[in-house]
Amino acid sequence: MSKYRKRERWDAQDVLEEFENWLLRERSVRETTARVYVDQIIGFIGWLPAPVEESLRSLTPGAILEWVDHAARQGLKPSTLRKQLVMLRSFLRFCHRTGRIGQDFAGVVPHAAGWRLSTIPDPVPEGTIQTLLESLDLQAPKGLRDRAILLLLTGLGLRAGEIAALRLSDVGWRTGTLRIRGKGDRADELPLPEEVGRALEDYVVHGRGGRTRFDEVFLTMFEPVRPVASNGISKIVRMACSRAGITEFGPHRLRHTFATGMLASGATLQEVQGLLRHAQLRTTAIYTKVDQARLTQLVPEWPAAAESRWER
């Protein structure tokens, strides 16, 4: 029946499905984004006493703040907590618009503290990527799919959401390019490395099959077949880690590895910025913190350094 039936509380099913439909209809978000919102709000739903509809009707600002405090104590990264709070605000706004809550409590949810560039990216240890790839069964469709996904992460530094959003029409088989649909409906065309292109071709021809109506490149393995969501990409990476017998990590750490590797091989900040599709150079600069020697070499590229020379 519902995709939430087996994994979540039965009495929350209707609320979760209606919230997803509201996101698609009223907020015009992508299907993959809506799924992420719903998955992230499940923690809040599960925390409420059953039945959930009754708990929502009697919800108070104090209860909301109590859950925020509970979430903050789970040891989440500041960026992860911020995302959860953004999604909670959206859910509370939905509850008000649909009459489940008498007031719009979105403003009650505090903003998680965080400072840009305050953390240091943590690339995976040398040899880890090869270990992941060698753990795959390339005689099976799943192995072909997972290899293509891992190479998109490690060879192009794509985000999980960008991989989930890939369409067959985005792959330039003849031109050797890949169109990426990024944040804010931004579209970029990147060169497609040969190894990554071959992995995509092997999956599409031998692993994906032609039995589906979906245009998305990456699909689930079991019936009912559907596109792999952003959180599904994360699960694929973590399962590959488990299969390879290494400590689990998510896809964004492979993006970090790609970026730091590019800098270490001599790429400029501007080149890495273009490959990562960062809107601002300051966002890319966080990767220089991994290698202090490389950071010293990059000082002349930093805008503030140029300004200070003019001031002298």
Is 256 known to be catalytic? no
What's the CA dihedral at 284, 179, 145, 128 to 10 degrees? -20
Q: Which of 147, 255, 256, 277 is catalytic?
A: 255
Is 294 known to be catalytic? no
Is 27 known to be catalytic? no
Residue 143 host element (H or E): helix 141-156
Six-digit token string for 286: 């966080």
Six-digit token string for 290: 């991994």
Is 252 known to be catalytic? yes
Q: Which residues pair with 181 in a beta bridge?
A: 187
Q: Which of 35, 145, 159, 277 is catalytic?
A: 159
Q: Which of 5, 77, 183, 206 is catalytic?
A: 183
Phi, psi for residue 155 in degrees, rounded to 5: -95, -20
Is 111 known to be catalytic? no
Peptide bond into 123 cis (omega under 30): no
Q: Are 286 and 121 contacting, i.e. CB atoms less than 8 angstroms apart?
A: yes
Q: Which of 3, 100, 252, 294 is catalytic?
A: 252
Residue type, 230: S
Q: Which of 145, 147, 277, 278 is catalytic?
A: 278
Residue 91 host element (H or E): helix 78-97
Q: 185: phi > 0 → left, psi -120 to 50 → alpha, else beta; which? A: left
Q: How far apart are CA 207 and CA 218, in angstroms?
A: 10
Six-digit token string for 284: 């890319």
Q: Are 233 and 251 contacting, i.e. CB atoms less than 8 angstroms apart?
A: yes
CA 7 to chain centre: 21
Q: How far apart are CA 41 and CA 92, in angstroms?
A: 10
Is 238 known to be catalytic? no
Residues labelled as active-site residues: 159, 183, 252, 255, 278, 287
